[in-house]
């Protein structure tokens, strides 16, 4: 068997009231909560994937500001190891009400509300990324090299 890494992106977007953009989605038949997140597509840049996934899942355009970190998670449900590139972004404007088919709704939630959802979070990385954001973790976007075309 050939092992293929699963590169994913996630976005932490905070509004002016201190709430975070989250998605309520169906995953393996269960309703879970996550940051706007998804897989990097073939020939797609990591930052571009983060912007695209946020728009597709929430209808919001965002401006990436920082990389929060690169996280590794092996999902017990399927045994797949995911590499999550998590970004901090500034929400700009909501441009669409059309969301990906597995997305139930986009919500703005406080950190306390998200912590209360603990058993409904898609993975432990959801809260870990938020805590790292709240603790001030920030890396410049330039740490991710983008090939020149």
Residue 15 domain-assigned (yes or no)? yes
1 lies in some domain = no
Along the 149 residues of the chain, how does pLDDT read in single tens digits? Answer: 677 779 999 999 999 999 999 999 998 889 999 999 999 999 899 999 999 999 999 999 999 999 999 999 998 888 889 999 999 999 999 999 999 999 999 999 999 999 999 889 999 999 999 999 999 999 999 999 876 55
Which pLDDT value is given to residue 75? 86
Residue 132 belongs to some domain of the structure: yes
Task: Please give the pLDDT value at position 113.
Answer: 97
Q: What CATH number does residue 62 fall under? A: 3.90.79.10
Instruction: Return the pLDDT at 5.
Output: 77
pLDDT of residue 82: 92
Closest by Cα among 49, 48, 25 to 126: 25
In a domain, 42, yes or no: yes
Full 3-state SS string of 61-128: EEEEEEEEEEEEEECCCCCCEEEEEEEEEEEEEECCCCCCCCEEEEEEECHHHHHHCHHHECCHHHHH
* Cα–Cα distance for residue pair 72/98, rounded to 1 Å: 30
Q: What per-residue confidence (pLDDT) applies to 147?
A: 65
Full residue range of the structural domain in which residue 50 is found: 6-142
Please state the domain count of the chain. 1
Closest CA to 88 of 111, 53, 64: 64
Residue 80 lies in a domain: yes
């Amino acid at each position: 068997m050939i092992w293929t890494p699963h590169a994913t992106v996630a976005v932490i977007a905070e509004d002016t009231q201190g709430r975070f953009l989250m998605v309520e989605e169906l995953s393996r038949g269960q309703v879970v909560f996550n940051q706007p997140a998804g897989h990097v597509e073939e020939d797609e840049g990591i930052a571009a994937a983060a912007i695209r996934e946020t728009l597709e899942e929430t209808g919001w355009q965002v401006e990436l500001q920082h990389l929060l970190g690169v996280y590794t998670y092996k999902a017990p449900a399927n045994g797949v190891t995911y590499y999550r590139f998590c970004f901090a972004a500034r929400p700009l404007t909501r441009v669409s009400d059309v969301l990906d088919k597995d997305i139930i709704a986009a919500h703005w939630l406080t950190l306390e509300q998200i912590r209360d959802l603990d058993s409904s979070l898609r993975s432990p990385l959801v809260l870990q990324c938020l805590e790292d954001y709240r603790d001030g973790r920030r890396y410049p976007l330039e740490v991710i090299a983008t090939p020149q075309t």
